[in-house]
Structure 1
């Protein structure tokens, strides 16, 4: 049990623009809310989703969607994992600040509780001391300083009381900026990428609303909720791979069969077997993908990634969101690439950046089937990981298709194998439906499997509050 002490803070001053001094700005990797408003004005859900607190635009806002004025509703902001943090400096644009008229018409948070968060094995966990403060009922920015433990991943804001609106009970927050004071190395490139994802999402939603819908074949529900179907802990030392079975297939052979996910598990096992044959960790003829598949260059709608990250904010791992632009073949194209590795091998011999180039040579994009109608796609990419220390990690993503839509997505992260208790292998089985004439994932069954832990989760579109 985590015991919390509560700090009461004075009302924050009002600022025209945030001034964080030497603190570093962080951008969210995901934003989750207990509810959001959906109504006839919210066409294509462009205005009221949680991620809009991060787009630096007062004309958009998170608006809670519960009955009444939203006391008890909460917003979770998740940023990079820090290990040497000291203070979060939070800048809040309270209420719906698109205009003075809308600011007064909608309810605004009055007292809020702020709690530092870490991502635990079973979900978000509060860490350190909570802080309760009263926000001013004015336009502009307000700063709140939240002391945090060294290890922190995010912050939860809970509405405790509100200022009433003149016309509506809906309580709004236009923007939340997070800066950090601490000793973690700052990575401006990573923060720039995270902010670009937010901006891309905001732009895509506004353009979709203006033209009456997105031009893509796939439409995400605004938000998906998570249901836990199975959690099984086991000793790492007790796990013994079945004889004659390869890596992924061996792990999935240990998943207990239950009626609630039996058919999805059967599909997942088939993809695990395919991955073991195509695995890019193998070289030459040992990898079916290298030996027999076509090396390609894919093109996808970038906006899908931002939309997927927002819709799947409840999914802690971003592997499915990263590949979201390739989930519907109507949104993707594949072009044959030069299969020769001669230039990369020559570069490795001449360069002192051997490790990075070796990963580039190991990875790549491979297609099974025709360019127009593939049955599987495999991507291997390397990325610089770590906060205090950095190393190159290798991620593989395998997508199998049934017709023009993805059937199953597998991700395997080599970096996670460094921690033997972490989940490296994930398989997502997708069930499709239709919304507004477009394909929509109506259920995603996710299998997270390691030697010491098995989890089966199901994600479905959130129902309206």
Structure 2
């Protein structure tokens, strides 16, 4: 039985600028919505997208796209995974605050419901206690405190009622900020990077509108809707079998049951999985076909597509496809031979390891001197000085750098193409990323794109996180295309997601109107 609770909060105060005190600001990794407005004024979706609640610009806004005032429509803000949170302080800039005239002309949220979110393997899940509050109908910022459980990743805002607009029924929300109070280590550099992604996204969309996007070969639909073809939750026996099975795309895709609705796409997914198993950059040296036989390259995006893809595929959980959006059509990208810097990178790794060894020795000596002659804490009893210096006590600010590990991944990874630079048949990228909030790890994520002519046929995304939960799911996207008016369009994306807890097959199709 699921118990739902709801707090009815008092009307929030009006603020010229948010004052969050000691709380830390978080920035979204993605923002999705049940709908957004699409019309002739918004041809390039530069103003009305969900992500614009995070750009700190009152001249942009999320505008819901349902008929009427949009009561029941919702927007979801997804940030970093937290494990020791206590509360969110949510600040809202209600309505379309570009000008006072536009603010009054459009509808504004009146009563809203805020719900904490976590990401389950089968989709978003609400957690903790929901808060319902009536916003004031004024310009400026308003704060809504939201208690959250320790484990939380996002917040959903649902429109319960609205203030009517003088000219339009469309309900607008200019900005939504989230600050957190809790005990998770705050990583300012990661939050700054996330905000820069939002700003880059906004800039790219505005540039697309200015140049009318006439040159890009790939034309994205405004958004795509999701159809569930298969949702199979794995029982304990199936999870045990998966956990004991070598985690390769080929072996995990073999667990997807065959169905007529995606039979052809599954065959294509299995074909790219077999290619990946041969090219996998986790293989030592030349045992990787990519490292042994393919060309090491640098990719160049002639016409960036990430912003348009992020907008169109805002409902898609896996960001891997969006990261290579500019490479899906070869007319929008090109490849160049990479500089031969392997020897230099190996030398850099060696010198970095020496520096880290010196730092470790110094840290251990300091730790032992500090512990001498006193009673050890419970944590110190568990972690000796060497372990403490390597981060055993979860203090990321004092643990040693993993720079040499990152450099090693860079040497192992990179970008490779099969075939010629002008007409590749496959592209493989291996990229190291730091993941986690309280716990951090280096995740080496690989993305393989196969081509049929100039168009991408499949995209496989494979992360390496080794964890008790079995690691990340394996994602394979199978793409189908059409052409009209000199533009290539994605008519469907069939996505296979195989994880420890579930096996899912989803199909994304374009929606041309709200």
2:432 corresponds to: 382
Deviation of the 1:218 alpha carbon: 2.0
Correspondences of 1:317-328 after superposition (within 5 Å):
317-328=318-329
CA contact (8 A) 1:364 1:379 kept: yes
For the residues of structure 1 that align with 2:500 and 2:95, how far apart are their CA atoms?
47
Instruction: Name which of structure 1's ranges 166-175 and 298-307 shifts more when overlaid on structure 2.
Output: 298-307
**Change in CA separation of 1:364 and 1:139 when aligned onto 2, cut-off 3 Å:** same
For residue 26 of structure 2, what is the aligned residue in structure 1? 26
Q: TM-score, normalised by structure 1?
A: 0.94
User: Which residue does 2:356 correspond to in 1?
Assistant: none
Whether contact under 8 Å (1:11, 1:135) holds in the other structure is yes
Q: Which runs of 4+ in 1 moved over 4 A?
A: 239-242, 434-437
Of the three residues 443, 464, 476, the one matched with 1:427 is 476
- 2:268 & 2:259 partners in 1: Cα distance? 14
Please say if 1:237 is aligned against 2:240: yes
Aligned equivalents of 2:259, 2:134: Cα separation in 1: 49
Q: Higher mean Cα deviation, 420-429 or 372-381?
A: 420-429
Q: 1:327–1:217: structure 2 CA closer, same or farther, 3 Å change rule?
A: same
> 2:92 is matched with which residue?
92
2:71 corresponds to which residue?
71
Q: Which has the larger radius of gyration?
A: 2
Find the partner of 2:456 among 406, 431, 441: 406
The within-5 A match list for 1:82-161 is: 82-161=82-161
The 1-side partners of 2:10 and 2:501 are apart by: 46
The whole-number CA distance in structure 2 between the counterparts of 1:127 and 1:240 is 27
Q: In angstroms, what is the RMSD of aligned CA positions?
A: 2.1
Preserved contact between residue 13 and residue 143 of structure 1 (Cα < 8 Å) = yes
TM-score by length of 2: 0.85
- Contact 1:241 / 1:251 at 8 angstroms: preserved in 2? no
Q: Is the 8 A contact 1:394 1:414 kept in 2?
A: yes
Contact 2:221 2:512 in 1 (8 A): no
Which of the numbers 350, 356, 367 marks the counterpart of 2:406?
Answer: 356
CA contact (8 A) 2:349 2:407 kept: yes
| Aligned residue-pair number | 462
Query: For residues 70 and 281 of structure 1, do their structure 2 counterparts lie closer, same or farther at Cα, with a shift above 3 Å needed?
Result: same
Would you say the 8 A contact 2:450–2:457 is kept in 1? yes
- Counterpart Cα distance in 2 of 1:118 and 1:35: 21
Distance 2:288 2:115 in 1: 47
Alignment partner, residue 391 of structure 2: none
Q: 2:417 aligns with which of 348, 367, 379?
A: 367
Deviations 1:186-212 (A, max 9, x none): 112221222122212222222222232
CA distance in 1, matches of 2:11, 2:179: 19
Q: Contact (CA 8 Å) 1:28, 1:77: kept in 2 or not?
A: yes
* Alignment gaps of 5+ in structure 2: 354-402
- Per the alignment, residue 362 of structure 2 pairs with none
**1:180 and 2:151 correspond:** no
Q: Which residue of 2 aligns with 1:260?
A: 261
Change in CA separation of 1:3 and 1:246 when aligned onto 2, cut-off 3 Å? closer
Q: How does 1:325-344 map to 2 (within 5 A)?
A: 325-339=326-340, 341-344=342-345
